[in-house]
Amino acid sequence: MEKKRKKIISYIGFLVLGFVLFNLVWWICAEIFQMKALPKPPDVYAAYADALDNGIGEHALASLRRICLGILISLAIALVLGLVMGRNKVVNKILSPLIYFTYPVPKLALLPIVMVIFGIGETSKILIIVLIIVFQLTISIRDAVRNIPKEDYDVLISIKASRWQQMRHITMPAILPEVFSSLRVSSGIAISALFFTEIFGTDKGLGFYINDSWNRIDYIQMYFGIFMLSMVGLLIFLLLDLLDTWICRWKKL
């Protein structure tokens, strides 16, 4: 128990240290450039009251909802495709060329097409996030499944375990660490893309908030929106770390 408490304190300590270093670098850059477009951290944080009046909380929740839905949908699709492709060579040979062909295409370039087909509402914004991260998740899961030694299945096969039992007791525990690692990378990409998807056809979301503040030359609120977007990312990363620690407890054994 004491060891676990020290680990939590150490984890929080590193987060605080990272936050302090980030603000220190930001403050130094602001002092060097002395530009209105690069305000000092205290000036930005002091504007939280105005941000609350501007509905920053609603904008943050809208962005968080879109990211979470995009990640969950992508994960569901990627798990099905990755597991099937990893265990079935024929399916892998059929689907791999399709994924390899579409994966390098910049998904933001498809934003106009998606908006024409699905409109400029929530569907198109979530769909772009899905298109951006689903291929990376699928490839990571497929490769993780293929890297499981065949000998790991021998015991269950010898007792005539079903495919579901093999997946539950061997496949899923083996690929979960890779899934969480890929989710961390994919989440960062999704958050980066969110800004562009929220510029069009919405009046809610941190992307809209940042762009609107920029158009009004309100740099303080623009930076506060950027700060809130980073907090949304931090929240997602903390949640993934928590789930990884809780679900993959066996890694510590």
Would you say domain 47-252 falls under CATH 3.40.50.1390? no
Mean pLDDT of the chain: 87
Q: Is the pLDDT of residue 253 over 60?
A: no
Question: What are the structural domain ranges in the chain?
Answer: 1-34, 47-252
Give pLDDT, residue 156.
77
> Does the model's pTM come out above 0.75?
yes
What confidence tens digit (pLDDT) does each residue in 169-219 have?
888 888 998 899 889 888 888 888 888 888 877 888 999 999 999 999 999
139, 96 contact by CB (below 8 A): no
Query: Which phi and psi angles does 228 have, rounded to 5°?
Result: -65, -35
What confidence tens digit (pLDDT) does each residue in 63-113 have?
999 999 999 999 999 999 999 999 888 999 999 888 888 887 777 778 788
What confidence tens digit (pLDDT) does each residue in 119-168 have?
878 888 899 899 889 998 999 999 999 998 888 787 777 877 778 888 88
For residue 82, the Cα-to-chain-centroid distance in whole angstroms is: 18
Q: For 205, which DSSP code?
A: S
78, 130 contact by CB (below 8 A): no
CA distance 101 to 22: 38
Query: Which stretches of 46-137 are assigned E, i.e. beta strand?
Result: none
Q: Find the helix or strand (DSSP H, E) in which 122 lies.
A: helix 122-146
- pLDDT tier for residue 250 given thresholds of 50, 70 and 90: low
What confidence tens digit (pLDDT) does each residue in 21-35 have?
999 999 999 999 988
**What percent of the chain is predicted at pLDDT more than 90?**
39
For residue 101, the Cα-to-chain-centroid distance in whole angstroms is: 23
CA distance 227 to 245: 27
Q: Which residue matches tokens 């099937």?
A: 84
Task: Identify the burial level of 240 via C-beta atoms within 10 angstroms of its C-beta, where 0-12 means exposed, 13-18 middle and 19 or more buried.
Answer: middle
Q: Which residue matches tokens 């399916």?
A: 91
Give pLDDT, residue 2.
66
